[in-house]
Amino acid sequence: MRLHIAIDGPVAAGKTTLGNALAARLGILHLDTGAMYRALGLTALRRGIDTQDEQAIVDLCRKLVISVSYGEDGQHTFADGEDVTGQIRTPEVSRAGSMVSRYAEVRKAMVKLQQKLASETDMILDGRDICTTVLPNATVKIYLTAATEERARRRWLEMQKKGMPDTYEEVLQAVKDRDYQDMNREVEPLRQAEDAVLMDTTNMTVDEEVEAILKIVEEKR
Ligand code: DC
C-alpha cells in the first residue's frame, strides 16, 4: 500500500516547510498543491483575465497545462511548460490563487491531477482539501495550524528575507483575508477532516513537527 501523508491547514501554517522536511526524512516526494492554484492565478493575472470571471477562469484552466517536476531543490511548477516556481509567491499571486480556487470546475481538474500524481508514488501532499477530498484514504492525515499572529509573523519574516516591502500589519490582514476566503468558499471550503490529527504549531519547531508526524507514521504502519 502507498504511503500518503495528507496535510491541510490555513495560510502560512508551515505546511510547505513541514512537507519538505518530511520528504527529506522519508525520501519521498512532496506535492505542494497550492502551487498549482497559484500557477493558474499567475497565468490569469499575466493574461489580464479577471479572476472574478468564473467562466473565463474555467476556460483558461481547461486549456492550461499545469505540471510539476522535482529537482535537487524540490518541486518546480510549470504552466504550459514554463517554470513559474519563482513567480508564484508574491502577494498578488497569493490572492489570485485563492480567487481561482473557488470555482468547482477548477477544483475538479486540480483534484484529478493531484490524485493521478499521488497514485503513482508514495507522497506527502499539502493543501486545503487533501484529507477531505483528494486523498480521503491517506495513511496519515494532519490538520496543521497556528495562531493567526504567529502565522503572519512567519510569513512576514519569509517575505523580509526575500526583500519584499510589506509591513507586518499588511501581511496579517492578507492572512486574515485569505483564511476567510478559503474557509468560506462554497466549494470544498477548508475544514479539519474528522479523522485528521490536529497539530497546533504555534510553539513547535519544524523538527518537533517532523518527529511528531514520523511517530504517527510508525504507528499507522
Ligand atoms: O497553500 P497556498 O497558500 O500556496 O495555496 C494558495 C491558494 O490555493 C489558497 O489560498 C487556496 C488554494 N488551495 C486550495 O484551494 N486547495 C488546495 N489543495 C491548495 C490550495
Query: Domain spanning 4-212: which CATH class is it, in words?
Result: alpha beta
62-102 tens-digit pLDDT: 999 999 999 988 999 999 999 999 999 999 999 999 999 99
* Mean per-residue pLDDT, 109-131: 98
Nearest CA among 46, 48, 61 for reference residue 104: 61
Q: Among 164, 141, 53, 61, which residue's Cα sits nearest to residue 105?
A: 61
Q: Is 41 in the pocket of ligand 1 (CB under 6 A)?
A: no
Asked whether the predicted pLDDT for residue 221 surpasses 90, the reply is: no
Q: How far is the CA of 219 from the centre of ligand 1 (A)?
A: 29
CA of 99 to the centre of ligand 1 (A): 10
Which residue is closest in CA terms to ligand 1's atom 20?
Answer: 34
* CA atoms in the 13 A half-sphere facing the CB of 59: 9
Instruction: Indicate whether residue 151 lines ligand 1 (CB < 6 A).
Output: no
Beta-carbon contacts of residue 176 (< 8 Å; ≥ 6 apart): 148
Probe residue for ligand 1, chosen from 8, 15, 93, 98 as the CB with the greatest number of ligand atoms within 8 Å: 98
Closest approach atom of ligand 1 to CA 12: 3
Residue minimizing CA distance to atom 5 of ligand 1: 34
3-state class (DSSP) for residue 34: helix
Instruction: Classify burial at 120, counting beta carbons within 10 Å of its beta carbon; exposed 0-12, middle 13-18, buried 19 or more.
Output: exposed
Pocket flag, ligand 1, residue 185 (CB < 6 Å) = no
Arithmetic mean of pLDDT, 170-198: 95
Task: Tell which one of 77, 182, 184, 190 to mutate to probe ligand 1, the residue whose CB is within 8 A of the most ligand atoms.
Answer: 182
Rounded Cα gap, residues 4 and 163, in angstroms: 35
Q: What is the pLDDT of residues 155-168, one digit of tens each?
A: 999 999 999 999 99
| 117: confidence class by pLDDT, cuts 50, 70, 90 | very high
Task: Give the angle 68-110-106 at the CA atoms, nearest 5°.
Answer: 130
> How is the chain split into domains, by residue range?
4-212
